[in-house]
A and B are shown apart, each in its own frame.
Chain A
């Protein structure tokens, strides 16, 4: 390898920052910045929406509806995740290659099953939902399967990674003691990764609540459905009530997963019911409750999915996707490709704008949001306003991340004219809270000794920020930016559904006009984007190292 010039080596982070900044500025040029981005009544509508936030509708009727929709959302999420875990567990183990004996078998099993996991997770859950609804009609199973498949893909990949990262010595010891492959799995691998698997599943469960809420946008029930109805009636005060229910649900899962994690780390056995057992029991009850509700309460039967009528529909649908009965499929047409690629570029710009906005907002707020800065232990200075500021920013983060991108987009679209900007803002609003939370945790986990030493060398607060905190946390920050950017890329298609521009908008049109081959073309473009995102973030990450 060529030896880098010292100037470049010293400043490569700086150059990289400049480069990323330039890309962000470039994405801004995709919008004509004038008063035209707003609707004629955009600003008054925004004020009305804000007013609804201060005076949410708390009538018994709305609260009752909110409660029952929240239960539906929770039940779909629980049922979907329970299937996802089973799928992830089986395919994840196969994809890790721990059960195979020969080198060739291991490689082929890894490639094949990792491929399956990759394919299932690269398509957004809402698109799965749309595909299922189109194929089997409006059944709760459409929502459950739509959640189970992509989430199973995500979980399965992480499970496989965890299995591959298991330290070698204990496994070797088991093997030399004569254990079979299944036995090493049960006595070696699984106990070692058990706790990590459960905490990652809980983290993903929180995401699945939000995904479950937006299932209503393809016609399935739940909180999202109510939000959609109230928005259509311009009842903003009701919208906020349902959003508060959603936030409550997310917080509930947050607290529950904290309990589960605590149960996992509790080393000392206590008499009676420990936290771990209680949360296990609660989980089992919740899973049973959800499935009972779906099969009895909603009267949905798995076998109905396989009725002759449904199979006929599904045949027609998937046949249409590969262009069976069409003379000129869109994905073989140069004109359609050119139009779709232009939309692909727009979608790329939208995603960059979105992560740029989110990064700026999170950057401005993250310092007071870290616990060790709020209590003064990191910088050795304590001010009265630290704690109130900490609380305020943290509430802002929870609020921002609890509301799914799609719901943000539906509100934003009342203020801005359809186009890339509202989509980018909606994506940014949701990701700002996630980014802020992840970053604050990075700061909380950092080694405080070098920072304190700077403080005792007489550095001021701002100097400490630039000489101590930022250089230490920036690589981790960047990793999270790129990770969220990949997620945003997957989600751009979804905000497009409500008129926020890009591939998603065209996707919705193609769906409504039953242009199946156009759908295939758009899904192809979308996969190109996902590959670009993977490649770009992988090489940026390498450049920082």
Chain B
């Protein structure tokens, strides 16, 4: 695996009014790593992903993406080639046909005219079809997205990411609202694509089981701090039990 550093966090801090979301986190992630973020609810997983995606401003500290500071990426196009985001199933425009939602991954490359014209006659159709083929949804190409099931919508979102082709994918609870069988299916597909495209993946997860099954490295957060940051095989059941222990009980 290449040793390029894809993401580096230096003492990043974020707090909402008085509540601390992230307290001085530092870590670095190399290209091609599959990182799972775990931890109890409210530990700061979503805040961390949102700040990497540039959606929320940090109070202090620095984030380097592909060795350049986050702030140096002027909004939009260039950043979209570096970082892509996938969430539960709220990332799609429901009333649009599936193909347009997939092609939205191309918007960073397209001009306005091409984008408008594509709404009538889809442009770069082969790319979209190929992406849909890989997630097994070619028969739904022209369906209205909101008529698809949760698992199918999540696969459409993955097809969009394939079209967008970012170097790093941030996944925020990508399978939280799916039943176990679908969740396993979607996650396996995501990992397969990331490996094939040699992308980097950072995913927050509720399920420790999935984190151990699919990811190479696990970062756990607790109260906005890193509780442990270990290769998957070194994560023990004792550590996990301590991570999820309730506040009162932990001070034995």
What mask results when residues 506 to 518 of chain A are scored 1 for a CB within 8 Å of chain B, else 0? 0000000000000
Q: Given that A458-B77, A467-B115 are contacting pairs, would A453 and B91 also be in contact in the complex, using a CB cutoff of 8 Å?
A: yes
A9, A449, A456, A475: which has the most chain B beta carbons within 10 Å? A456
How far apart are B89's CB and chain A's nearest CB, in angstroms? Answer: 10
Closest 6 CB pairs of A and B: A458-B80, A458-B108, A453-B91, A449-B90, A459-B107, A471-B95
What is the chain B residue whose CB lies nearest that of A12? B144
- Of residues 440 to 496 in A, which have CB atoms within 8 Å of B's CB atoms? 447, 449-450, 452-460, 462-463, 466-468, 471-472, 474-475
Expressed in whole angstroms, the minimum distance between the Cβ of A481 and any Cβ of chain B is: 16
B42 at the interface (CB under 8 A from A): no
Q: Identify the stretch in B97-105, B129-137, B190-198, B233-241 within 8 Å (CB) of chain A at 4 or more residues.
A: B97-105
Q: Does A6 contact B (CB under 8 A)?
A: yes
Q: Inside 8 A of B77's CB, which chain A residues have their CB?
A: 458
Q: Is A175 an interface residue (CB 8 A)?
A: no
- In the assembly, what is the distance between CA of A457 and CA of B80, in Å? 5
A10 interface hit (Cβ, 8 Å): yes
- Given A458-B108, A459-B107, A467-B107; 9 other pairs, CB 8 A cutoff: A381-B75, A450-B91, A454-B104, A454-B107, A456-B80, A457-B84, A463-B112, A467-B96, A471-B93
B81 part of interface (Cβ distance < 8 Å): yes
Contact present for B108 and A459 (CB under 8 Å): yes
Which of A455, A457, A466 sits near B160, CB closer than 8 Å?
Answer: A457
Question: CB of B87 within 8 A of chain A?
Answer: yes
When the two chains form their complex, are residues B93 and A472 in contact, meaning their CB atoms are under 8 A apart?
yes
- Tell me whether A460 and B112 are in contact in the complex, defined as CB-CB below 8 angstroms, given that A10-B142, A11-B120 are known contacts: yes
> Are A450 and B93 in contact (CB-based, < 8 A)?
yes
What chain B residues lie within 8 Å of A472 (beta carbons)?
93-95
A463 to B77, CA, bound (A): 12
> B107 contacts A458, CB within 8 Å?
yes
* In contact, B97 and A10 (Cβ under 8 angstroms): yes
Chain B 118-176 residues near chain A, CB threshold 8 A: 119-120, 142, 144, 160, 164
A residues near B96, Cβ cutoff 8 Å: 467, 471
Q: B210 to chain A: which residues have CB within 8 Å?
A: none
B79 at the interface (CB under 8 A from A): yes
Question: Contacts A457-B80, A475-B95 given: A462-B112 contact, CB under 8 Å?
Answer: yes
The answer, yes or no, to whether A14 is at the interface (CB within 8 Å) is yes
On chain B, the residues within 8 Å of A11 by CB distance are 120
Contact A459 B104 (CB under 8 A): yes
Determine the residue in chain B with the shortest Cβ distance to A468. Answer: B93
Q: How far is the CA of A453 from the CA of B101 in the complex (A)?
A: 11
B120: nearest residue on chain A (CB-CB)?
A14
Residues of A within 8 A of B110 (CB): 463
- For the complex, give the distance between the alpha carbons of A141 and B146 in Å: 53
Say whether B65 faces chain A, with CB atoms less than 8 Å apart.
Answer: no
Q: Is B83 an interface residue (CB 8 A)?
A: yes
**Cβ of B116 under 8 Å from chain A:** yes
Residue B38 at the A interface, CB < 8 A?
A: no
Q: Which residue of A lies closest to B90 (CB)?
A: A449
The verdict on A173 contacting chain B, using a C-beta distance below 8 Å, is: no
Task: Establish whether residues B55 and A452, one from each chain, have CB atoms under 8 Å apart when the complex forms.
Answer: yes
Residue from A14, A458, A463, A471 whose CB has the most chain B CB atoms within 10 Å: A458
Q: Does A380 contact B (CB under 8 A)?
A: yes
Chain B count of residues within 8 A CB distance of the other chain: 36
A457-B108 contact, Cβ under 8 Å, with A380-B75, A475-B95:
yes
B81 / chain A contacts, CB cutoff of 8 Å: 458
Complex Cα distance, B76 from A381, in Å, reads: 11
Contacts of A9 in B (CB 8 A): 142, 144
CA distance A450 to B112 in the complex (A): 19
Determine the residue in chain B with the shortest Cβ distance to A467.
B104
Chain A residues contacting B91 (CB-CB under 8 Å) are 449-450, 453
Contact A466 B53 (CB under 8 A): no
The smallest beta-carbon distance between B147 and chain A, in angstroms, is 11
Among B77, B96, B107: residue with most chain A CB under 10 A: B107
Kindly state the separation between the CA atoms of A399 and B4 in the bound complex, as whole angstroms: 60
Cα distance, A468 to B53, chains bound together (Å): 19
Q: Is the CB of B164 within 8 A of A458?
A: yes
Min Cβ gap B79→A in Å is: 7
Q: How far is the CA of A472 from the CA of B112 in the complex (A)?
A: 19
* Distance in angstroms between the alpha carbons of A97 and B247 in the assembled complex: 56
Q: How would residues 415 to 458 of chain A score, 1 for a CB under 8 Å from any chain B CB and 0 otherwise?
A: 00000000000000000000000000000000101101111111
Distance in angstroms between the alpha carbons of A458 and B107 in the assembled complex: 6
Please, how many angstroms separate the alpha-carbon atoms of A460 and B76 in the complex?
7
Are the C-beta atoms of A457 and B104 separated by less than 8 Å?
Answer: yes
Instruction: State A6–B100 Cα separation when bound (angstroms).
Output: 14
Question: Quick one: which of B35-91 are within 8 Å of A by CB?
Answer: 53-55, 75-77, 79-81, 83-85, 87, 90-91
User: A468-B93, A472-B94 in contact; A453/B87 too (CB < 8 A)?
Assistant: yes
Q: Is B92 interfacial (CB-CB < 8 Å)?
A: yes
Partner of B92, one of A14, A450, A455, A475: A450
7 contacts across the A-B interface (CB closer than 8 A): A447-B90, A450-B90, A454-B104, A456-B85, A457-B164, A458-B79, A460-B76
Residues of A near B104 (CB, < 8 A) are 454, 457, 459, 467
- Please report the C-alpha to C-alpha distance between residue A459 and residue B160 in the assembled complex, in whole angstroms: 13
Q: Taking the nearest CB of chain A, how far is it from the CB of B65, in angstroms? A: 13
Q: How far in angstroms is the closest Cβ of chain B from A483?
A: 19
Chain A nearest Cβ from B122, distance in angstroms: 9
> B96: shortest Cβ distance to chain A, in Å?
5
On whether the beta carbons of A460 and B54 are closer than 8 Å, the reply is: no
Least CB distance, A379 to chain B, in whole angstroms: 10
B87 partner residues in chain A, CB cutoff 8 A: 449, 453
Q: Which A residues touch B107, using CB under 8 A?
A: 454, 457-460, 463, 467
Chain A contacts of B120 at CB under 8 A? Answer: 11, 14
Alpha-carbon separation in the docked complex, A456 to B75 (Å): 8
Are B53 and A456 within 8 A (Cβ)? yes
Residue contact B119 to A466, C-beta cutoff 8 Å: yes
| Contact digits for A1-20, partner B, Cβ 8 Å, 1 yes 0 no | 00000100111001000000
**Closest chain A residue to B99 by CB distance?**
A10
Give the docked Cα–Cα distance between A471 and B91 (Å): 14
Instruction: Give A334-375 as 1s and 0s: 1 = Cβ < 8 Å from B's Cβ atoms.
Output: 000000000000000000000000000000000000000000
Q: Using Cβ atoms and an 8 Å threshold, which residues of chain B touch A459? A: 76, 104, 107-108, 115
- In whole angstroms, what is the CA distance A295 to B182 when docked? 72
In the assembled complex, how far is the CB of residue B167 from the closest CB belonging to chain A, in whole angstroms?
Answer: 13
Residues from chain B with Cβ under 8 Å of A455 in the complex: 76
For the complex, give the distance between the alpha carbons of A536 and B160 in Å. Answer: 38
Query: With A and B bound together, what is the CA distance between A69 and B115 in angstroms?
Result: 55
**Docked complex Cα distance between A519 and B91 (Å):** 57
Query: A462 — which chain B residues lie within 8 A by C-beta?
Result: 112, 115
Beta-carbon contact of A467 and B100 below 8 Å: yes
A466 touches B116 (CB 8 A): yes
Nearest-CB residue, chain B, relative to A14: B120
Chain A's nearest CB lies how many Å from the CB of B218? 25
How far is A466 from B160 in the complex, measured between Cα atoms in Å? 17
Q: Write the chain A residue with the least CB distance to B119.
A: A466
